[in-house]
Amino acid sequence: MIHPTAVIHPKAELDLSVEVGPFVVIGEHVTIGRNTTVGAHSVIEGWTRIGEENRIFPLASVGGVPQDLKYRGEKTWLIVGDRNIVREFATIQPGTVTGIGETLIGNDNLFMAYCHVAHDCVIGNRVIMANGSTLAGHVLVEDFAILGGLSAIHQYVRIGESAMLSGGAMVGQDVAPYTIAAGDRARMRGLNIVGLRRRGFSRELITILKKAYRILILSKLRVSDALARIRAELPGFPEVNHFVEFIEKSERGICR
């Protein structure tokens, strides 16, 4: 059902099952998939492709012009997967030609009220961004990460799989997978044990990841030496391999 007060460009492509609330504005280059709902007063614009069964709540802004002074109206994309929830006043913006040219959102994510996802970000699956959390441009957030309310992530930072940021965390460097980061100029504070248990990680695997974390943080070794020790002492676990490889690829360094 489309409310009669909605303003939808005739070239926009909406599946017949899409529901559009009152006073919604949908632009020319927007595509919206099956069973998606768009709440009152929301604006969806730009070159934006939205998948199936998403819920966009009132007053959200999706696909608006990036907050990048270098942007000159180039054709860049926002691509959103399936079953995402975008709550009130959240803002999600497309890529830029100085980045990867698109912002990519996976599936089953929750963007709470007043969240901001800037240009050229890549977000995986089952990510939770709590109220007021903010991503600068070019940020990578891996699957199952949780970003606490009012946390802020510097541009080009990467947040690892199943990492958790505390409320108000100011993150200027990469956060390793499976860990917790907290504080102004955030530092790692331990392993995200509750999150790993909720995902069904075995007791054995959590114990192994604890050992990897302790080697990285408590051994006082240089990062490269700590990673070499982890590889030598804890081989054969894909999650440990991901932990090590994520850190090895860091360009901004790990907050520890």
| 132 annotated active-site | no
Q: Which of 119, 149, 160, 174 is catalytic?
A: 119
Q: Which of 21, 63, 81, 137 is catalytic?
A: 137
| 64 annotated active-site | no
Give the pairing of strands 152-153 and 110-111.
Answer: unpaired
Beta bridge partners of 185: none
Sign of CA dihedral 100, 104, 110, 115: positive
**Cα–Cα distance for residue pair 165/102, rounded to 1 Å:** 25
**Cα–Cα distance for residue pair 12/153, rounded to 1 Å:** 33
Q: What is the DSSP string of 86-149?
A: E-TT-EE----TTTTSEEEE-SS-EE-TT-EE-TT-EE-SS-EE-TT-EE-TT-EE-TT-EE-T
**Cα–Cα distance for residue pair 199/210, rounded to 1 Å:** 16
Q: Which of 120, 138, 143, 149 is catalytic?
A: 120
Residues labelled catalytic? 119-120, 137
